[in-house]
Homo-oligomer: A and B are copies of this chain.
Amino acid sequence: MKESIYIIKIGGNIIDDDGLLQDFLKKFAAITDKKILVHGGGKLATRLAAQLNIPQQMVEGRRITDAETLKIVTMVYAGLVNKSVVAALQSFQCNAIGVSGTDGDLIRSVKRGTEKLDFGFVGDVQKVNSRFLLTMINNGFTPVVAPITHDGQGVLLNTNADTIAQAIATSLTDHFDVNLVYSFEKKGVLLDVDNDESLIPVLDPVLYDKYRKDGKIFAGMIPKLDNAFSAIAAGVKKVIIGKAEELEVLVSGKTGTILTNEEHAIN
């Protein structure tokens, strides 16, 4: 049996709330298994853009990233958020190292094509350098990854943090039993978005297909779940989706939505 590793994505709403963030980071630091944190930037980038009078345009939850906006997300994600998170983790005795996708050539991406829509400096993940991650992890460091990648030609690109978490998880399946955790402000995948009691505890591809056809899972949840199921298809052992505030229970698999490839594998 391989050693376990947890790839944990922390959602934007938690980043925006310093109290919730500190609480989450304390729980993250306490996880004794090997682990990697992937974060987004929350609303800080949008706020800074507003202060600098740089108009922002979002399409289906994705930010159109012109040259000025690229500077802003690089500053906010790879600078302010990443270093604040690392400093907090260090204070909780977790030997974190903050990186973006350009550091150690961790994540190569390709600038998204402009056929449908010009997203600007947005990159789609091409390759994760798992050797770099293994070097960090095997030397006792906990990588904290900001969602900025590069094209290998000197250009930084803004990249979706959910996708980065999935790509990192997938890249490590030869070396670890990989658990991918998407933690955010909700209990998990809900049948009724306003009712925590409607949590789906286990989701397999057949059930997912059914719920989607019935229109019970929709909008923003679909790309997240497509991402998660492709991670599982690529060898990730388990994907858990749930509330950041319950991280320690979430990691144990006792709450949230667990995604699996096997029907009824978990009760």
Contact = CB atoms under 8 A, between A and B. Distances in A.
B154 A91 contact: yes
A141 B74 CA distance: 22
Contacts of A82: 78-79
Question: Chain B CB within 10 Å — which of A80, A83, A97, A100 has the most?
Answer: A83
**Interface SS of chain A: helix, strand, loop or mixed?**
helix
Question: Chain B CB within 10 Å — which of A90, A98, A100 has the most?
Answer: A90
A181 interface: no
Nearest to A51: B52
Interface of A: 51-52, 71, 74-80, 82-84, 86-88, 90-91, 95-100, 102-105, 135, 139, 141, 148, 150, 152-156
Given A78-B78, A98-B99, A135-B135, 18 more contacts: A71-B80, A74-B80, A75-B76, A75-B79, A78-B79, A78-B83, A79-B80, A79-B82, A86-B100, A86-B102, A87-B150, A90-B105, A90-B152, A95-B105, A96-B103, A98-B100, A99-B103, A104-B141
Contact of A156 (B76, B84, B104, B154): B84
A75 B81 CA distance: 9
A104 B90 CA distance: 8
Contacts of A76: 75, 79
B87 A79 contact: no
Contacts of A95: 104-105
